[in-house]
Structures are given as structure tokens and as C-alpha cells.
Amino acid sequence: MAEVVTLGETMAVLYPPEPVVLDATATLAIDIGGAESNLCIALSRLGHRARFVSQVGDDPFGARIRATLEREGVDTTFLATHPNAATGVFFREWLPDGARRVYYYRRESAASRMSPEALTAEMFAGAKILHLSGITPALSATCAAAAARAIELAKAAGALVSFDPNYRGRLWSPEQAQKALLPLMRQADILLLGHEDAAAVLGTHGDDATLAAAGELGPSTVVLKLAERGAVAIVDGKRTAVPAVLVNQVVDPVGAGDGFNAGFLAGLLRGTSTEQALELGAMVGAACVATLGDYAGYPREPQPAG
């Protein structure tokens, strides 16, 4: 039985094995990537049971996603195969100056065709947490409806709802994101966000303004991820902050936020203090940035500092 259930899109990701632009590379490496499946992999490596609900195409990319998740111990019972739609693909560059450029090919993908009618109570039975990101509602109207339905089913099952706005400017405008995401965020018990999310969805700038605006939406827990400045949380009105975990070199920041989310949620599942949960999140996020790839650097069973 899964402790955490997620719903979203995982795509095949292709990238140069060296830090060069795409039009200068002769070869591409292939892997998988997606906010929700990244979180599932990180949780699984931390010893927690995670379930990924989605759709992939009946193609080699879909088969690779399924095989990778199963190899990582993620529950794919409700990862469906769409007979007529392809698995989404994206290409990304990673450059020595820290720049990251991403090119999505996901329109009309199998995952973008998820619908609320396909979700059942069985998917959420026994779960302690449902985790969603704002990426999923951006994919299509049916995905937005599926996210809302997932929250209904999760709450009916007694699960907490965790939400990361994960704003992506390539998918929609701030105005579109606000209209779609604020109603979902108001139903969350746990909000996990960064400054870019706050600026786009809440219209806030600065730690205090963001924490206050997010708290007004009603969650009992608000976490603000501050990258190299660490993280801060407001839990039942109490503020807790932790510093970042230092790394020798940032190789690839992609997946760090998802890793942080997984570490923090793992801390909650273990019944640790807010400080320890934040420290675990920071540790997982730091391990991620030191390695190329969405999830390759996620550690197995790290212990909180202190």
C-alpha cells in the first residue's frame, strides 16, 4: 500500500552528455524526467512507498519510463498505456555558465489526455499524502480536472494534500496559472514553493510576503525553498528555518526541488520535527545538484544532520 500518491506526466528526456548546446552536440543521452515521478523515485530511495498515477504511450519511451520506475521501486499499478497517443519528450541543454534551456514536445501526449473519469478511489486507498504539482493542470483542461478530482478522492481517503505550484512559463502565463492553481492550492494541507512560483502565482516578492500570502490560502504547513539560502517553513503558525547544505560544485540543478519535496514529506511520514524534515529535504536537494540528471543524485536513506 502506497504512503504517497502522485499524479502527473513523465517524459523521455534527451540531453548532450557534455555541457554544450544542442546544435553543437553529436550525441544525446536518454533518460526520464518529471516532477512527480522524480519525487516518487526520491521517496522510494528513502525507503517510502510511492505510487505514480499517469499515462504513457505504447512506444519505447513509455516502456522505458515504466521499466525505470519499477526498477526504482515505484508502484506503477495505475500507470496506464494509451493506445493512440505518444509519450511526451523533451530536450534540454546544460551549460558551464549554469544556463538551462528546455524544449518540450508534449502537446497531445498520452499524459495530457488524463481525465477525472479514469481516477478511482482504489488509487488513493490507504495513502497518507497526495502530492501534486502545478505542471499537471497546465497540460490540458482534462488534466486540470483530474488534479481536482484527485484531491477529492485523496481527502475522502483521509490523506493530506501536498502541492507545489512548480510554475513553468513555457506552459502558461501567470494569469492562467493563478486562475487554475489558486483553487487547488486553497485545498492543500502542505504548500511547497519557491520564489518564482510565488511571484507568478501569488504575485509576491520576499520571504515574509510570500509566507504570509501562502498562509492566507489556508494550509497548515507552508514551505519556502530558498536554494542556496536554505528553506523556511511555517507550521501551525510556528516559523522554522534551516541553512542550505553546501556542495562543492553545482552540476545540474534540475530535480533539486522535487528532491527537497520528497525529503520534507519523508520527514513528515517519519514523524520528525519540522527542522529535521527541512534538513532532510535540503540534504536530498543538495545531493541532486551535484550529479547530472533529474534523479540520478538522489541518495538512499540519508540521515538528517545534527
Point out the residues that are catalytic: 258
Dihedral through CA 56, CA 61, CA 65, CA 70, nearest 10? 110
User: In whole angstroms, how large is the CA radius of gyration of the chain?
Assistant: 18
Cα–Cα distances in Å, from 130 out to 3, 127, 264? 9, 7, 14
Write the DSSP assignment of 23-89 as a string of letters: GG-S--EEEEE-HHHHHHHHHHHTT--EEEEEEEESSHHHHHHHHHHHHTT-B-TTEEEESSSPPPE
Residues 6+ apart with CB under 8 A from 262: 38, 39, 42, 43, 46, 281, 284, 298
> Are the beta carbons of 78 and 295 closer than 8 angstroms?
no
Report the C-alpha gap between 153 and 51 in whole angstroms: 15
- Alpha-carbon dihedral sign for residues 214, 216, 219, 222: positive
> Are the beta carbons of 79 and 69 closer than 8 angstroms?
yes
Report the C-alpha gap between 108 and 96 in whole angstroms: 33
